[in-house]
């Protein structure tokens, strides 16, 4: 069994003060991926015995950023998707293992009134092309904050959000295109009709207390690994960010060396 966790921490330095290490240890992932770290490596003490650390920070201080911590030594690590206009924001890390790629992504937010939708759509197309090249070589596991609730079941109030960032028609269509290119939404593959399952809640109007949330954090797996999905979970009982962690367990053994 292989266990993966993904969490948008909305600023790791802040999350460290809100119990991050307790949650990290309790989840006990083989690979733990973060989004929106909002820091450069070394700006906070992070002692993780048994894990190799990989950081990709945005050039802009205190903004965006991804990180991945792995118990197993990757064959190769790639930062970004090969396009400078996106890679300056530190939005993707790829870990290559013997039999698969793991891609940790933080998809750009389209912002209020979809002010950044053109950048977002270009990113979506470029990411899909990048993942397609990887998938031509071996199976791909994609995780992270995808910044889209795919279907109406994936947010509390769909009727009032059809023109909102994260639920606009174009963003949902792009996510559909990504799945159609050869990926499976692991959570929905196990729980196609389970409602009220969210991974992000606004800090406003006690949204989390009311469970008025959105499911925008995902694990996607290549179609040919669909039957390896053993468990997909949303850990809404874990606090420290406006997002909660999500996890995936896949059948199979690690075939590379531990750190």
Catalytic residue among 30, 86, 101, 145: 145
Distances (CA, A) of 207 to 9, 23, 124, 204, 211: 18, 22, 28, 6, 6
- Which uninterrupted H or E stretch holds 121? helix 117-135
Is residue 92 within 8 Å of 103, Cβ to Cβ?
A: yes
218 in active site: no
Is residue 9 within 8 Å of 35, Cβ to Cβ?
A: yes
Cα atoms found within 13 Å of the Cα of residue 207, Cβ hemisphere only: 15
3-state secondary structure of 213: strand
Separation of alpha carbons 15 and 106, rounded Å: 17
3-state secondary structure of 20: helix
3-state secondary structure of 16: helix
203 in active site: no
Q: Measuring CA to CA, which residue among 121, 117, 123 is closest to residue 83?
A: 123
Catalytic residue among 101, 106, 130, 198: 106
Distances (CA, A) of 184 to 143, 187, 248: 12, 9, 13
Q: Which residues are catalytic?
A: 106, 145
């Amino acid at each position: 069994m292989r266990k993966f966790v993904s969490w948008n921490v909305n600023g790791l330095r802040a999350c460290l003060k809100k119990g991050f290490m307790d949650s990290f240890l309790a989840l006990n992932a083989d690979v733990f991926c973060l989004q929106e770290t909002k820091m450069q490596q070394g700006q906070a003490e992070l002692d993780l015995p048994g894990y190799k650390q990989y950081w990709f920070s945005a050039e802009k201080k205190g903004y965006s950023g991804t990180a991945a911590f792995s118990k197993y030594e990757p064959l190769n690590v790639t930062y970004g998707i090969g396009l400078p206009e996106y890679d300056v924001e530190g939005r993707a890390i790829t870990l290559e293992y013997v039999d698969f790629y793991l891609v940790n992504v933080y998809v750009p937010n389209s912002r209020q009134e979809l002010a950044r939708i053109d950048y977002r759509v270009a990113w979506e197309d470029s990411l899909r092309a990048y993942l397609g090249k990887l998938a031509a070589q071996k199976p791909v596991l994609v995780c992270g904050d995808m910044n889209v609730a795919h279907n109406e079941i994936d947010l509390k109030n769909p009727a009032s959000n059809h023109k909102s960032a994260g639920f606009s028609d174009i963003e949902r269509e792009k996510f559909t295109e990504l799945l159609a290119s050869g990926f499976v939404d692991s959570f929905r593959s196990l729980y196609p009709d389970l409602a009220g399952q969210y991974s992000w809640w606004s800090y406003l109007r006690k949204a989390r207390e009311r469970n008025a949330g959105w499911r925008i954090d995902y694990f996607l797996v290549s179609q040919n690994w669909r039957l390896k999905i053993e468990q997909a979970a949303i850990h809404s009982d874990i606090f420290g960010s406006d997002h909660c962690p999500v996890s995936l367990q896949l059948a199979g053994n690690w075939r590379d060396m531990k750190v």
